[in-house]
Amino acid sequence: MWTVLKFDKKRIGLFTQQLQQRFGKEFEIYCPKISYQKFRNNKLVRKEFDLLGDYIFCFSKNFSKCNFINELQYFKGVKYFLSGYIKSQNEINEFVAKCKKNEDSDGYLSQSFFDIKKDTFYRFSSGPFTQKMFKVIDIQKNKIKILMGNVSTSIKKDNYILSPL
């Protein structure tokens, strides 16, 4: 059973260590991440971004027991557990499966995870045009036709990370 918890980013190591000591390997932690590139001092620097901020998914068969959750609330690094996770298991399972399906070989989410809409403005988050704005003109199977200033061109969908404005 999956649950969603808010954690202290500085203490995530302590939390996972306490889980391993207490429960062995009967749990799984999943935190979807995006890798993007940014210009800093005329150099292209690779950055990592947690998609859910300071929330993570945690899986264990024991989460159906209330006393198990009550015990975990006092682990170092845990701020709180979101309530209602028992009723939302289908949605959580679908979201985690979609995230895992759209990961690249390094474990980061690829652009295919996000839905791109026609006639919408976006900004490049990776590649040579980082931080440049453009408008999506047409969406094809593997390519996107864009308008950047007065120049119309097409790019491959999976080569760049795009963020909506």
Q: Which domain holds residue 141?
A: 112-164
Question: Consecutive 10-residue runs of the chain (165 residues): their mean pLDDT?
Answer: 86 82 81 80 81 87 76 81 83 91 85 80 81 88 88 83 79
Residues 44 and 97 in one domain: yes
From 90, 109, 128, the end of a domain falls on 109
Residue 92 and residue 84 in contact, taking contact as beta carbons nearer than 8 Å: no
At residue 91, the pLDDT reads 92
Last residue of a domain, one of 109, 130, 147: 109
Residues 85, 55 share a domain: yes
Q: What is the pLDDT of residue 145?
A: 92
Residue 94: what pLDDT?
Answer: 92
- Cα distances from 133 to residues 28, 109, 117, 162, in angstroms, run 38, 21, 15, 10
Q: Do 100 and 32 fall into the same domain?
A: yes
pTM of the prediction? 0.73
CB 116 within 8 A of CB 162: yes
Q: Are residues 44 and 123 in the same domain?
A: no
Helices (H), 3-152: 12-23, 66-72, 89-101
**Count: domains in the chain:** 2
For residues 78 and 128, state if they share a domain: no
Instruction: Please indicate, yes or no, whether residues 77 and 98 belong to a single structural domain of this protein.
Output: yes
Q: Which two tokens stand for residue 1?
A: 């059973």
CATH number for position 54: 3.30.70.940
Chain length of the chain: 165
15 and 29 co-located in one domain: yes
For residues 105 and 130, membership in a common domain is answered with no
Q: Both 96 and 156 in a single domain? A: no
What CATH number does residue 144 fall under?
A: 2.30.30.30
* Shared domain check, 136 and 61: no
How far apart (Å, rounded) are the C-alpha atoms in residues 60 and 26? Answer: 6
